[in-house]
Amino acid sequence: MVEDLGVSRPTLREAFRILESEGLITVLTGARGGPQVRLPDLSVASRHIGLYLQTRGATLADLLEARAEFGAICVRLLAERCTREGLEELTACVREQYRVWEAGVDTGADFARWVSLTGDFHNLIALHCRNKTLEAQSKSLADVLGAHRVVSIQRRADPDAVADTSYIPGVIADYEKLVRLVEAGNAAAAEKHWRAHLYGAAEVVYRNRERDSIISLFD
C-alpha cells in the first residue's frame, strides 16, 4: 500500500489512525492483520452531536422537547407506513416489557433491562417509520440522551439505588395504545398520543434531574 499510494509508512499509519477513530476501519494485528473496512457507525455522529450540544449549553429540557416533537413525527409516519412485520416486532417488545415488569423490577440490573427495552421500542418506531434520515436522527438523539443518563446516574450519591418504578405500568399501557392506533392506521391520533406520552415521560425524568441542567456526556 505504501508503494501503491506513494506515501511514507508514518503517513499511512496516521491515515489508518484517523480512519479508525472515525469508525471507518478496524486495524487487525497478526499474520493476516491489516485494515478492515467498516460501515459508518452512528455512534460517532452521536458523539459529535452530543459534544456540540453540550458545548453550546443545551439543557435536558431542550433535548427532551426535541425528542417529543421529533418522535411524534416518526409515529405519524409509522401509522401510515408500518408493515405487519413491524407491528409484530412492536407487539413483541411490549410483551417483553410486561414480562420484565411482572417478574419484578427490584434491582438496578432489572431497571437497566427495562430501560433497554424502552429504547428498543423507540428504535423500532424509528426503523418502521421507513425513513432512513429520520431513523438516523432518532437513533443519534437517543444515543445522546442515553449517554447523559449514564453520567447522571454515576453522579448520584448511590448510583446503584433503584429508581421509582411506579410509573412503569402507565408506560406499558401507553405503548399498547400506540400499537393499537398504528394497527388501525390512525396517524393523527397516534401522533397526538405519542407527543403527550413523551412530554409526560419528560416530567418523570424531571423528578430526579433538573430540567435546566446542561446535558453532559462526561462525568
Q: State the DSSP code for 157.
A: S
Could you tell me if 74 and 147 lie in one domain?
yes
Could you tell me if 10 and 83 lie in one domain?
no
Look at residue 2 and tell me whether its pLDDT is greater than 70. Answer: no
Could you tell me if 32 and 60 lie in one domain?
no
| pLDDT tens-digit readout, 73-85 | 999 999 999 999 9
Could you tell me if 30 and 75 lie in one domain?
no
Look at residue 150 and tell me whether its pLDDT is greater than 60. Answer: yes
| 36 backbone dihedrals φ, ψ, rounded to 5° | -120, 125
Better-scored residue on pLDDT, 14 or 53: 53
Range of the domain at 152: 42-205
| pLDDT tens-digit readout, 79-120 | 999 999 999 999 999 999 999 999 999 888 898 899 999 999
Could you tell me if 105 and 166 lie in one domain?
yes
First and final C-alpha spacing in the chain = 41
The model's pTM is: 0.83
Give the total number of structural domains in the chain.
Answer: 2
Residue 25 contacts residue 163 (beta carbons within 8 Å): no
Could you tell me if 74 and 21 lie in one domain?
no
| pLDDT tens-digit readout, 171-215 | 999 999 999 999 999 999 999 999 999 999 999 999 888 899 999
